[in-house]
Structure 1
């Protein structure tokens, strides 16, 4: 059994093993196409992995989450081989939660009609959200 298969067999989640296998194979293919040689995982450098990261971001235009998954697979496999490689992936930015429009809020209240408990909870949440938005927009600069 080759080292990659041995490593993948140690993973407890079949889904993770499948994704890591695909990520490691994809990296090996990229490495071969880029350098003309097959990848030697024991000699892999930080620069080569950074080049791969740049390729994923600029040429393939993958999301930060997709790039980070591939980097996690490489780091984890190298750790299994007794190596550490410090390559940071792109920062993942979570978009802010979009507030409900008046129409959406009205439809939510209409759906809860007949249940005083649900209506009370929705009222509380809507008022707290409204108050929070007022605080964030008017007083945020005072808190800094």
Structure 2
């Protein structure tokens, strides 16, 4: 299978439901898009048969608040600021020292998602008592790892 990238991006005014759409609230019937997408990705991985390797899954979760990038998966709900590195020639932006946690099951990936959500920055606004006030980026990476042949 060819490599593909996908993004779900929500945009709107404070109180419009962006956070609820992506993360949901509590019970299964109120889960957001990310919680619903994770099992679908793992179903596709489990259906994928590859003779020369296997697929590995990693997750990362960061937030951007007041122009500071913070890792939400570091100990204690997000360590210090992460460095943003930009390679203008190649058009690549990378976040240095961002944790990438390997996961094997949907429950494990969703556990990291829940931990990151708890670590997010929140403050009250006139429109919303628990507004996130920050941008969040949850990344789920699926990578094909080739099996080393005997004797190499």
If the TM-score is normalised by the length of the shorter chain, which range does it land in? under 0.3
Higher relative contact order structure (alpha carbons within 8 Å, sequence separation ≥ 6) = 2
Q: Which has the larger radius of gyration?
A: 1
TM-score (norm 1): 0.23
TM-score, length-scaled by structure 2: 0.22
More strand by percentage: 2
